[in-house]
Amino acid sequence: MEDLEKFQIYADAKYASYTMMNTMRSLRHLIKEGVDLNNRESFKNWILKMKRKGVMDKTLNIYIKAYNRYLEWRGEEKIKPYKEMKPFKTARATEEDYKKLMDACYGYTEIRNKLMIDLLFKTGIRYRELINIRLEDIKEDTLIVRGKGQKIREVYLPRSVRDLLKEYLKIRKAKPGNNFLFVNYYGDQLTYAGGRQILHEIAKRAGVHFSPHMARRFYARKLYQEGYDIEKIRLLLGHEKLDTTKTYLKVDQEDAINELRKRDFDFLYLNLEVQNQTTPSSTQRPGWDLNPGHGFDRPI
């Protein structure tokens, strides 16, 4: 058996099917280009050649990441990918987006589509995990999730999700033997592409920018804001490494400004207030009711 075939068996068990498929595609392309996968210098030379031809770092990183998975299988040190320029602000889903998406679900598929959105926002599961939910995965108030690399975890189903789930199961029409939760018009399992298209159309009707992964990040940030321990959040999301979870919870400039805006925070003004031990009159700061016992001003 060739090394690539052995690696494919390893990758099948370790990675999600989508990741494995793209990895194998990249490795086969490297072989076609004359790269010896068992010789890292051969790969490095190919990368440098592509770099000189003007291939973007983002594209080269696709091959570097695929090759690194192969090196990991061989027990060798990974190759450092190129540093990519990332946008300062990442797109985020909001509670308002969630409401608009739910309102944009109507017609004979309304309940099914609302359940899909509810599960994404309120359990933080991945889109592929959503599509692959089976009836036997549904427990009393939890859901068994088959994650990346066939890893199994359990997530909690809030009461509102359970109520919507019961409503959907009453009207779900599946072909005999099809035990996948989400089905299409013909009673077959809702496909990966089909579900994507449905969510795209709902977002278009709602007038919001949305992807399933944005809902996953929304869920993680909400848990963090409510004071949940980051290790527990990692387990719920099914992350192998804590660093991955931390990237979901990064505070950016918008977060910082919004926190100050809520408090109308002015530390120089507060310092003067403490020194004077007096409360300024309403004429000094019109429209504000000052409460010296707190670290911020409160609007009337």
Q: Where are the domains of the chain?
A: 3-74, 95-248, 257-299
Catalytic residue among 44, 196, 205, 213: 213
**CATH number of this structure's domain 3-74:** 1.10.150.130
Instruction: Say whether 29 is catalytic.
Output: no
pLDDT at 121: 96
Could you give the 3-state DSSP secondary structure of residue 108? coil
Q: Which residues pair with 174 in a beta bridge?
A: none
Instruction: Say whether 213 is catalytic.
Output: yes
Share of residues in the chain with pLDDT > 70 (%): 81
Angle at 146 between CA 233 and CA 165, to 5 degrees: 85
Instruction: Say whether 126 is catalytic.
Output: yes
| pLDDT score of 273 more than 80 | no
Residue spans of beta strands (DSSP E) within 102-141: none
Cα–Cα distance for residue pair 208/264, rounded to 1 Å: 29
End-to-end CA distance of the chain: 76
- Per the CB < 8 A criterion, the answer to whether 248 and 237 are in contact is yes
| pLDDT score of 289 more than 90 | no
Catalytic residue among 40, 69, 122, 216: 216
- pLDDT tens per residue across span 189-229: 999 999 999 999 999 999 999 999 999 999 999 998 888 88
**Looking at residues 87-115, what average pLDDT do you find?**
87
Catalytic residue among 69, 126, 221, 234: 126
Cα–Cα distance for residue pair 171/188, rounded to 1 Å: 15
- Global pTM reads 0.61
Residue spans of beta strands (DSSP E) within the chain: 142-146, 152-156, 288-289, 298-299
Q: Which residues pair with 166 in a beta bridge?
A: none
Instruction: Say whether 239 is catalytic.
Output: yes
Confidence of residue 291 (pLDDT cuts 50, 70, 90): very low
Instruction: Say whether 234 is catalytic.
Output: no
Range in 82-91, 94-103, 156-165 with the lowest mean pLDDT:
82-91
pLDDT at 256: 63
CATH homologous superfamily of 95-248? Intergrase catalytic core (1.10.443.10)
Confidence of residue 104 (pLDDT cuts 50, 70, 90): very high
Q: Tell me, what DSSP letter sits at residue 85?
A: P
Q: Which residues pair with 298 in a beta bridge?
A: 289
**Looking at residues 101-124, what average pLDDT do you find?**
95
pLDDT at 285: 41
Instruction: Say whether 15 is catalytic.
Output: no
Cα–Cα distance for residue pair 228/233, rounded to 1 Å: 7
Cα–Cα distance for residue pair 256/51, rounded to 1 Å: 38
- Per the CB < 8 A criterion, the answer to whether 39 and 102 are in contact is no
pLDDT at 143: 95
Nearest to 236 by CA among 294, 159, 160, 154: 154
